[in-house]
Amino acid sequence: MLDIKFVRENPEAVKQNIKNKFQDSKLPLVDEVIALDSERREIQQEADDLRAKKNTISKEIGALMAQGKKEEGMAKKEEVAKNAKRLEELEEKQRQVEEEITKKMMIIPQMIDSSVPIGKDDSENVEIQKYGDPVVPDFEIPYHTEIMEKLKGIDLDAARRVAGNGFYYLMGDIARLHSAVLSYARDFMIDRGFTYCIPPYMIHGNVVEGVMSFPEMDAMMYKIEGEDLYLIGTSEHSMIGKFKDQIIPEEEMPQTLTSYSPCFRKEKGAHGIEERGVYRIHQFEKQEMIVVCKPEESKMWYDKLWQNTVDLFRSLDIPVRTLECCSGDLADLKCKSCDVEAWSPRQQKYFEVGSCSNLGDAQARRLKIRIKGKDGNYLAHTLNNTVVAPPRMLIAFLENNLQEDGSIKVPTALQPYMGGKTVLEVK
């Protein structure tokens, strides 16, 4: 959410930002917010004048009564009562106007960084760099669920009977591999100085509104019936919510955390052949990283976060690339974002396995996350990035480590987490 003062002083810049995100239907909101803000300030001024007048008249009443001028004193009391009624009306009107301003401001997108390429959707995202040489073996690579089935590592039919489409049972070596990847990712981030955390898996509605836009919320979140609780779609939600209404001393910045959680998503509108199997599902587990920092440090942390994911995948010999998200592909709270994509030898193309985002002060403004500085309090910046998200990450892992006989090579870095196994054999 933007600062209302910024909108008031830079309306054309805010409108151009909306155009750059190809959301022209939101353009009228800028003028509407400015008009409401003007009305709010007029109401505030009248209310302040009445409060000041009340104090003055109260003193006059005391003086009149002391002088025995009871009749004049009673008249002043009637004036105070009349002003009090008007003040009550103004306070209610101000509350309504402020609610309307907040409602509209929540829809106006965050200002994107000047380095973000302008484009309508993800088809116009821009490749930044490739890491590792993508290899296509001279034998056919089956679909990832077929690889898992040969290892007796997945049961989708049972999951459909129990929970429906979009769920899975992982079994045996594949289930162990899934846990091994998460444990390795946890230790990888701890070694990089991040504090490990296991957060709540459900959060209140006001936290949801603080960390994401309404369209995202509608498309992703599962609500607990009869409760003010939502299942998290990523641990970023509860991790950023951890700092809600907090004033963090400057000397305690930055806050760098890596968190494990299950994640739950509606995946509204998911379709297509590559969304079969375990690519796009309603339940998965993820290791996440989040940073709460000073504004001047957020660009530096953004580069560190996506590099962490690249380094982790390369430590497992998986080729990856980074992709700069264009303006039209940015969620409304994001200033800048890039995807990390892993190489798929079967498809002979890259696919998304993680996303790194700098949200500037958007979440901090909504959740009132502030830093206590020498010259006063100011809003923090928040960032998040996927460390690893199996089972989607397993697709890249299995395809890039598949041997011609159907077995899976276990990279050196993962072997301690797999009980020393160097290969997973076909059952």
pLDDT tens-place string over residues 377-413: 999 999 999 999 998 899 999 999 999 999 999 999 9
Q: What is the model's pLDDT at position 270?
A: 53
Tokens of 44: 């505030």
Q: What is the model's pLDDT at position 138?
A: 94
Distance of alpha carbon 105 from alpha carbon 128, whole angstroms: 33
Based on the structure, what is the number of domains in the chain?
Answer: 2
Q: Based on the fold, state whether residues 201 and 138 are members of the same structural domain.
A: yes
Model confidence pLDDT, tens digit, residues 115-125:
999 999 999 99
Torsion of CA 70, 76, 81, 85, to 10 degrees: 170
> Does residue 111 fall inside a structural domain?
no
- Kindly report the pTM of this predicted structure: 0.90
Percent of the chain having pLDDT more than 90? 82
CATH number at residue 51: 1.10.287.40
Q: What is the model's pLDDT at position 19?
A: 98
Candidate from 55-69, 93-107, 164-178, 305-319 with smallest mean pLDDT: 55-69
Across the chain, mean pLDDT equals: 93
The mean pLDDT of 278-290, rounded to a whole number, is 93
CATH number at residue 194: 3.30.930.10
What residues contact residue 335 under an 8 Å CB cut-off, 6+ apart? 110, 111, 112, 113, 116, 358, 359, 360, 362
Q: Based on the fold, state whether residues 347 and 237 are members of the same structural domain.
A: yes
**CA 70 vs CA 54, 55, 60: distances in Å:** 18, 19, 12
> Does residue 114 fall inside a structural domain?
no
End residue of a domain, out of 75, 105, 135: 105
φ and ψ of 332, to 5 deg: -60, -25
The mean pLDDT of 299-318, rounded to a whole number, is 97
Q: What is the model's pLDDT at position 64?
A: 66
Q: Based on the fold, state whether residues 342 and 196 are members of the same structural domain.
A: yes
Is residue 322 scored above 60 in pLDDT? yes
Q: Based on the fold, state whether residues 384 and 251 are members of the same structural domain.
A: yes
Q: Based on the fold, state whether residues 36 and 142 are members of the same structural domain.
A: no
Candidate from 1-10, 14-23, 206-215, 301-310 with smallest mean pLDDT: 206-215
Q: Based on the fold, state whether residues 220 and 75 are members of the same structural domain.
A: no
What residues contact residue 96 under an 8 Å CB cut-off, 6+ apart? none
Taking residue 230's Cβ as centre, other Cβ atoms within 10 Å add up to 22
Q: What is the model's pLDDT at position 81?
A: 79
Domain of 152 in residue numbering reads as 122-424
The mean pLDDT of 219-229, rounded to a whole number, is 93
199 burial type by CB count under 10 A (0-12 exposed, 13-18 middle, 19+ buried): buried
Q: Based on the fold, state whether residues 287 and 219 are members of the same structural domain.
A: yes
Model confidence pLDDT, tens digit, residues 125-170:
999 999 999 999 999 999 999 999 999 999 999 999 999 988 999 9
Match 């951890």 to its residue by tokens. Answer: 242
Q: Based on the fold, state whether residues 82 and 126 are members of the same structural domain.
A: no
Contact 114, 336 (CB under 8 A): no
> Does residue 116 fall inside a structural domain?
no
Strands 247-249 and 370-373: parallel
Q: Based on the fold, state whether residues 144 and 17 are members of the same structural domain.
A: no
Is residue 271 scored above 70 in pLDDT? no
> Does residue 280 fall inside a structural domain?
yes
> Does residue 115 fall inside a structural domain?
no
Count helices and strands (H / E) in the chain: 13, 18
Is residue 58 scored above 80 in pLDDT? no
Tokens of 204: 């209140």
Q: What is the model's pLDDT at position 72?
A: 75
Model confidence pLDDT, tens digit, residues 352-365:
999 999 999 999 99
> Does residue 117 fall inside a structural domain?
no
Q: Based on the fold, state whether residues 60 and 97 are members of the same structural domain.
A: yes
> Does residue 153 fall inside a structural domain?
yes
Q: Based on the fold, state whether residues 221 and 316 are members of the same structural domain.
A: yes
Distance of alpha carbon 171 from alpha carbon 357, whole angstroms: 33
Tokens of 190: 């701890």
Helix extents (H) in 151-229: 156-162, 172-191, 205-211, 214-220
The mean pLDDT of 328-353, rounded to a whole number, is 96
What residues contact residue 238 under an 8 Å CB cut-off, 6+ apart? 199, 200, 201, 203, 207, 232, 259, 261
Contact 111, 335 (CB under 8 A): yes
> Does residue 403 fall inside a structural domain?
yes
Find the farthest-apart pair of alpha carbons in the chain and give their distance in angstroms, rounded. 108
Distance of alpha carbon 237 from alpha carbon 183, whole angstroms: 21
End residue of a domain, out of 80, 105, 130: 105
Q: What is the model's pLDDT at position 73?
A: 67
Is residue 273 scored above 60 in pLDDT? no
Is residue 265 scored above 60 in pLDDT? yes
Model confidence pLDDT, tens digit, residues 81-110:
788 888 889 999 999 999 999 999 999 999
Contact 156, 166 (CB under 8 A): no
Axis-axis angle for helices 392-401, 172-191 (nearest 10): 100
Q: Based on the fold, state whether residues 224 and 297 are members of the same structural domain.
A: yes
End residue of a domain, out of 105, 136, 151: 105
